[in-house]
Chains A and B, each alone.
Chain A
Amino acid sequence: MKTNRIRKTMIAVVLGLALAAGTNAYADGDDSTHDHGNHASYNAVENHAYTQECSACHYLYLPGLLPARSWEALIKGSDKHFGENLALDEKTSAEILGFLKSNSAEKTNTEWSKKIMKSLGSSTPERIMDVPWIIKEHREVKNAFKRPSVGSASNCGACHTRGHEGDFDTVKVPK
């Protein structure tokens, strides 16, 4: 009986320690990865229709990566989207465009969105990889895009593991 109770207490203590350690490790990880400065004010935005329609095929690009005029061109041409007809109904495309425009690069208050806007001039890129500042930022990793672990330059998340949160500074290029 007594040994049983001692065993139970020991288990509780070990569990408690493990839990505390776990919480601590999480907090540490959180602190170190959030401490990049230039995305501290970024609130990741989401829209159900955008996620459903767009991320079924490709990476869910943050709306702040392109100016409103680019999103307008992309949705307007959604029946010829890089060779594909997205078959969006009117209501869905209006909802998606509304979401993209209200969170576009002009409306996003981060260092990266400001640099994107500044580099554009009067151009209206339809690919994020056609934004001059983004091209410049990737000039040293161009060869990594072809790696099977990356797939293509459209797969941002392969290297920008926290890109979906607006953190493009945390980078881990897979082998």
Chain B
Amino acid sequence: MKRGLSAMIATAALFVSANAYPALNQDMNGLIEKFQKEADVKSFSAEDGRKFFATKRIHSKGEERSCSTCHTADPRQKGKTVVGKVIEPMAQSINKERFTDPKKVEKWLKRNCAWVLERECTPKEKGDFILYMTTI
């Protein structure tokens, strides 16, 4: 019985350590590993992700834009779209559904990087951002 249990724990530990980012599910680990390869880095930085989220820039339309324009300065809070619709919190600690579906994550990164930065985000920016959102 005891041996069976420890074998189970060992197997579970193996399974967990197979994912480099334990906060993320397997599919999301796949996505972040892809970003890691593209960015040619060994790991991402939640601190860089935090700075990226807060960085304000002037859009070509003349207005100041950042991630926090819609998501507020604290990703654990609810945000608002430009037409006033409520956005559920981004932080996975508050909103368990966030950062579980790679397809959805990539779609929104594409959409919102274009809105804030007027370009695609780099793999490093994307990885840091995801790490920040899933650890805060």
A interface residue numbers (CB < 8 A to B)? 55-59, 83-87, 89, 151-152, 154-155
Contacts and interface: CB of A to CB of B under 8 A. Distances in A.
Given A83-B61, A84-B115, A155 B110 contact: no
Interface in B55-99: 61, 81-85, 87
Contact of B81 (A57, A86, A89): A57
A87 B83 contact: no
A28 B34 CA distance: 57
Contacts, number: 35
Contacts of A55: 85
A127 to B, nearest CB: 12
Contacts of B61: 83
B107 interface: yes
Nearest to A84: B115
A58 B114 contact: no
B51 interface: no
Task: List the 5 closest A-B pairs by CB distance, nearest first.
Answer: A151-B84, A87-B110, A87-B111, A85-B114, A57-B81
A87 B110 CA distance: 6
Interface of B: 61, 81-85, 87, 107, 110-111, 114-115
Given A83-B61, A85-B114, A58 B107 contact: no
Contacts of A86: 111
Contacts of A84: 111, 114-115
A57 B114 contact: no
5 contacts: A57-B83, A58-B81, A83-B61, A85-B110, A151-B83
A57 B85 contact: yes
A20 B27 CA distance: 49
B76 to A, nearest CB: 19
A155 B84 CA distance: 8
A61 to B, nearest CB: 12
B71 to A, nearest CB: 13
A154 B82 CA distance: 11
B80 to A, nearest CB: 9
Nearest to B70: A57
Contacts of B111: 84-87
A87 B85 contact: no
A155 B83 contact: yes
Contacts of A59: 83, 85
B101 to A, nearest CB: 11
A155 B85 CA distance: 8
B110 A58 contact: no
A38 B87 CA distance: 34
Contacts of B114: 84-85, 87
